[in-house]
A and B are shown apart, each in its own frame.
Chain A
């Protein structure tokens, strides 16, 4: 007799298509105009190495479903991780209660559908790989950081591989599924020299297989990059403080665009008119060299997906075209209320959360200057290289923490600088983008974005960018 593993997706949801349809109908029983069931089964493995040992491994299983009912602008939501018909019905009734005019509206019968693309073709699944092989990746990364220089006193490497199975069915008859792999290998290295102690960080991954670590980015390289950064920061100075020309390094600086521009182009903030952009569609909001995209379809990228968490096929969106505001990131609810088409940007952290408009992979398109030309144009300024993170308010005011950068003196990068803060207001800074490089790059494939308590994997990128003037915070 063939023995099935207890950890298969289908086995966890003992609900037939007929059951699902009944639940969708039950969800509409109070008069809702749309209902949906999001079924999720997620597993992950985690390895942690520090102090020269594999300290622990972890395995996690998350299983559950969420039922959503829309009624006009209102959303009702119930979820459960007890997949008994009784509990699922209870979640359906909870979601249904958002509507208040009982009727006999019925869901359309479910038609399983698929899609022609796969944005994460994986040759050798890391999820299926033996734990021993993954431990080797971690050890290679660890040793390469540790052995780079005797000043490296501490290394920490962690690895995580995750597989998320989702199935989305809704009252419009949709029945669609996806399996999303996600991998991350990160290294933290600490260097010490005469009572000074600095940390460097690097990492990689994405929606990739084991082959990524031999073909795209080796664990050794990740370890070395982290160690190099820590060593360089030992020599770093405090940044200058005040307003000055700022050059944003390619790749890593994408986080600035993500925070300062991307979030405020998520449709919900515009529908609610809390975003500074809500009344600026078609208007000039940036220098005419600037074009910005959000693209969930880039193969293997951390922020990519075959379908969004509402089961919609995602589209590449041109957010800003040559300085003019042209697009918003739409989920189903905002698109419907704003009478726009959905762009497939409705994402959710897991089955316990309502989908909301989110970014995927956001980037500034390349320009015409070489990075050398751009640096040469600055007599005295600041070059922001890597970031700890950033935050923006709906008003457009933002802050970025620069973990490493350089002084620019007479058109050259000179002393390394640590721990600076960049602040500004988005439209002001977008208009002060003076030069855009031809060197579009993307950040480390390790980014996670938070919004309303939900964390999502994202990526972002940009070419070298010169900002005419920007406020730099430091300690001098």
Chain B
């Protein structure tokens, strides 16, 4: 992957940092992404869209007299970039001085990049024919099932990204990563009684990707199980979250433990560090160093090495996830979660328990399996949740019928205390993940 132009962007990052210092910036950081993407969308056996492109983007932060300015550009000509640096130094003077601003201090930790296994060289060697065939095959297998009445299509995509990062504290590093994904969306039922769902597999390494058979099978199964839904009465019942739903819940938790929402007081978990916020079985972890996982990276968006951070341990809130700025505001240390001005999860997950998911269902006398939610309805300030939902109704440990046109509502704080059972099926399907769980009780609104 290394050619002359890539040596050039490494040099460009370094040169811009030096240019900024010479122009009078106290501190400056520069990051450059050099990416290549491929995607093919297939529907009813034919290619609909084929996209292939390389592109670059540069971001920078300039600090002068404790005042900050940001710039970004997809035009990487020296003229434009030097103009942006000069302009940023001028603009910084118009911001307010902020004692918490500034680059992270140099770290003594250092991530061994190859051990993270972020790059798969076989991805760039896949032929166009092979890539198209993966999508075509996935959809074909699904369409063989006569209960499937329409297709949103199948897609295969790959990405290769080089990240170069330099700052005026002497940091200068780069790393390469790859991602590939196979997905399929389906509909079942006639036009006026449609149900739909999808499945995808996304991995850093091609050999770990689910096969067309697996993706097709799951997409079909997830779609047809929703045919002929019933409405149910408004009631409070135990609710089982499938792994994708637990991931969704963890995504909401992430926004509530983000150091930014804590110092901005937009989270219900403000001032709760060291307190019990969930029951004993709840362990939530952010780990940027899991080999080969989607959320792994050697360092964050401001060059702080990533690490493993316990967020909730035995139900006790242990850490907020911070970039350098939020950490300084909260008198804490950066956890290597910077995404520029915001924070990003690395691999943020609810630790698996030891109960198989089918046993969680068979031990439920009466309740709902939550399979999808739609809409917004999350309020981090209060932890309140209210979402449109689709589910499967369970009677005496067995799935009785699908349910639609319901909403679920509750509160994240209460849910963390009411997680009764945690499954053993954690799969790291996305950077934010979790296994099947059962919640003691949630309000399900229907008729």
- Name A residues whose Cβ lies closer than 8 Å to a Cβ of B: 6-7, 12, 46, 48, 50, 53-64, 73-82, 87, 91, 94, 97-98, 131-132, 135, 153-154, 156, 190, 197-199, 241-243, 272-274, 276, 278-279, 352, 354, 388-401, 418-421, 423-425, 471-476
Given the complex, which residues of A lie within 8 Å of B276, measured CB to CB?
none
22 A-B contacts (beta carbon < 8 Å): A48-B341, A54-B95, A54-B96, A60-B73, A61-B80, A74-B46, A74-B48, A132-B94, A197-B268, A198-B381, A242-B447, A279-B191, A352-B55, A395-B196, A397-B404, A401-B376, A419-B377, A419-B409, A421-B375, A421-B387, A423-B405, A475-B443
- A-contact 0/1 string along B78-89, CB 8 Å cutoff: 011001100110
Q: How far is the CB of B396 from chain A (nearest CB, A)?
A: 26
| A55 touching B96, Cβ below 8 Å | yes
Q: A374–B98 Cα gap in the complex (Å)?
A: 52
Binds A, one of B64-72, B291-299, B361-369, B415-423: B64-72
Q: Does chain A have a CB within 8 A of B284? A: no
Q: How far is the CB of A261 from chain B (nearest CB, A)?
A: 16
| B55 touching A58, Cβ below 8 Å | no
Q: Does chain A have a CB within 8 A of B218? A: no
Q: Which of A76, A190, A388, A476 contacts B376 (CB 8 A)?
A: A388
Q: How far is the CB of B398 from chain A (nearest CB, A)?
A: 25
Q: Does chain A have a CB within 8 A of B429? A: no
Given the complex, which residues of B lie within 8 Å of A46, measured CB to CB?
70
| A276 touching B71, Cβ below 8 Å | no
| A399 touching B387, Cβ below 8 Å | yes
| B96 touching A75, Cβ below 8 Å | no
- Name B residues whose Cβ lies closer than 8 Å to a Cβ of A: 43, 46-57, 68-76, 79-80, 83-84, 87-88, 91-92, 94-98, 128, 150, 152, 187, 191-192, 194-196, 234, 264-266, 268, 341, 373-377, 379, 381-382, 384, 386-388, 404-410, 443, 445-447
Q: A352–B196 Cα gap in the complex (Å)?
A: 28
Q: A419–B378 Cα gap in the complex (Å)?
A: 8
Given the complex, which residues of B lie within 8 Å of A393, measured CB to CB?
194, 196, 374
Q: How far is the CB of A457 from chain B (nearest CB, A)?
A: 18
Given A74-B49, A419-B379, A474-B409, 4 more A-B residue pairs with CB atoms under 8 Å apart are A59-B72, A59-B91, A87-B54, A473-B409
Q: A73–B234 Cα gap in the complex (Å)?
A: 46
Q: A62–B341 Cα gap in the complex (Å)?
A: 19
Q: How far is the CB of A400 from chain B (nearest CB, A)?
A: 6
Q: Which of B49, B55, B266, B374 contacts A190 (CB 8 A)?
A: B266
| A154 touching B386, Cβ below 8 Å | no
Given the complex, which residues of B lie within 8 Å of A87, measured CB to CB?
54
| A154 touching B446, Cβ below 8 Å | no
Q: A53–B192 Cα gap in the complex (Å)?
A: 54
Q: Which of B50, B53, B72, B266 contacts A98 (CB 8 A)?
A: B50
| A276 touching B55, Cβ below 8 Å | no
| A241 touching B234, Cβ below 8 Å | yes
| B88 touching A59, Cβ below 8 Å | yes
Q: How far is the CB of B127 from chain A (nearest CB, A)?
A: 13
Nearest neighbor of B229 in chain A, beta-carbon distance? A397
Q: Which 7 A-B pairs have the closest CB atoms?
A: A473-B407, A399-B388, A399-B375, A53-B96, A401-B377, A395-B194, A389-B376
Q: How far is the CB of B244 from chain A (nearest CB, A)?
A: 16
Q: Which of A64, A153, A398, A471 contacts B74 (CB 8 A)?
A: A64
| A80 touching B54, Cβ below 8 Å | yes
Given the complex, which residues of A lie within 8 Å of B407, measured CB to CB?
241, 399, 421, 423, 471-474
Given the complex, which residues of B lie within 8 Å of A278, measured CB to CB?
191
Q: A390–B83 Cα gap in the complex (Å)?
A: 41
Given the complex, which residues of A lie within 8 Å of B379, measured CB to CB?
199, 419
Q: A78–B49 Cα gap in the complex (Å)?
A: 11
Given the complex, which residues of A lie within 8 Å of B91, measured CB to CB?
57, 59, 131
Given the complex, which residues of B lie within 8 Å of A272, measured CB to CB?
43, 150, 152
Given the complex, which residues of A lie within 8 Å of B69, measured CB to CB?
56-59
| B377 touching A474, Cβ below 8 Å | no
Q: Which of A388, A399, A418, A419 contacts B374 (CB 8 A)?
A: A399
Q: With A272-B150, A391-B375, A474-B445 in contact, is A75–B50 under 8 Å at CB?
A: yes
Nearest neighbor of B152 in chain A, beta-carbon distance? A274
Q: Which of A63, A276, A354, A391 contacts B192 (CB 8 A)?
A: A276
Nearest neighbor of A399 in chain B, beta-carbon distance? B388
| A397 touching B46, Cβ below 8 Å | no
| B71 touching A60, Cβ below 8 Å | yes
Nearest neighbor of B55 in chain A, beta-carbon distance? A81
Q: How far is the CB of B336 from chain A (nearest CB, A)?
A: 21
Q: A399–B378 Cα gap in the complex (Å)?
A: 13
Q: How far is the CB of B123 from chain A (nearest CB, A)?
A: 17
| A97 touching B388, Cβ below 8 Å | no
Nearest neighbor of B408 in chain A, beta-carbon distance? A473
Q: A303–B50 Cα gap in the complex (Å)?
A: 28
Given the complex, which residues of B lie within 8 Å of A64, measured CB to CB?
55, 74
Given the complex, which residues of A lie within 8 Å of B375, measured CB to CB?
389-391, 398-401, 421, 423
| B49 touching A75, Cβ below 8 Å | yes
| B75 touching A471, Cβ below 8 Å | no
| A58 touching B70, Cβ below 8 Å | yes
Q: How far is the CB of B220 from chain A (nearest CB, A)?
A: 16
Q: With A197-B381, A388-B376, A474-B409 in contact, is A354–B49 under 8 Å at CB?
A: yes
| A395 touching B55, Cβ below 8 Å | no
Q: Which of B46, B72, B96, B381 contacts A61 (CB 8 A)?
A: B72
Q: A132–B95 Cα gap in the complex (Å)?
A: 10
Q: A383–B211 Cα gap in the complex (Å)?
A: 49
Q: A77–B152 Cα gap in the complex (Å)?
A: 20
| A395 touching B187, Cβ below 8 Å | yes
Q: Which of A50, A97, A391 contacts B264 (CB 8 A)?
A: A50
Q: Which of A77, A423, A472 contacts B49 (CB 8 A)?
A: A77
Q: With A81-B74, A98-B47 in contact, is A421–B196 under 8 Å at CB?
A: no
Given the complex, which residues of A lie within 8 Å of B373, measured CB to CB?
399
Q: A352–B377 Cα gap in the complex (Å)?
A: 31
| A475 touching B88, Cβ below 8 Å | no
| A80 touching B382, Cβ below 8 Å | no
Q: Which of A73, A154, A352, A425 contacts B405 (CB 8 A)?
A: A425
Q: Which of A198, A392, A394, A424 contacts B382 (CB 8 A)?
A: A198
Given the complex, which residues of B lie within 8 Å of A12, measured CB to CB?
75
Q: With A79-B55, A94-B53, A199-B379 in contact, is A56–B374 under 8 Å at CB?
A: no
| A473 touching B386, Cβ below 8 Å | yes
Given the complex, which residues of B lie within 8 Å of A400, measured CB to CB?
375, 388
Q: Which of B55, B128, B373, B445 has the most CB of A within 10 A?
A: B445
Given the complex, which residues of B lie within 8 Å of A61, measured CB to CB?
71-75, 80, 84
Q: With A53-B96, A473-B407 in contact, is A81–B75 under 8 Å at CB?
A: yes
| A73 touching B386, Cβ below 8 Å | no
Given the complex, which residues of A lie within 8 Å of B406, measured CB to CB?
423, 471, 473
Q: How far is the CB of A383 from chain B (nearest CB, A)?
A: 17
Q: How far is the CB of B52 from chain A (nearest CB, A)?
A: 5
Q: A98–B48 Cα gap in the complex (Å)?
A: 9
Given the complex, which residues of A lie within 8 Å of B404, measured CB to CB?
397
Q: A425–B195 Cα gap in the complex (Å)?
A: 12
Q: Which of A58, A60, A397 has the most CB of B within 10 A?
A: A58
Nearest neighbor of A131 in chain B, beta-carbon distance? B94
Q: A94–B128 Cα gap in the complex (Å)?
A: 11
| A354 touching B376, Cβ below 8 Å | no
Q: A273–B447 Cα gap in the complex (Å)?
A: 30
Q: A79–B98 Cα gap in the complex (Å)?
A: 40
Q: How far is the CB of B149 from chain A (nearest CB, A)?
A: 9
| B68 touching A135, Cβ below 8 Å | no
| B386 touching A474, Cβ below 8 Å | yes
Q: Which of A63, A156, A401 contacts B386 (CB 8 A)?
A: A401
Q: With A394-B194, A424-B405, A472-B445 in contact, is A75–B95 under 8 Å at CB?
A: no
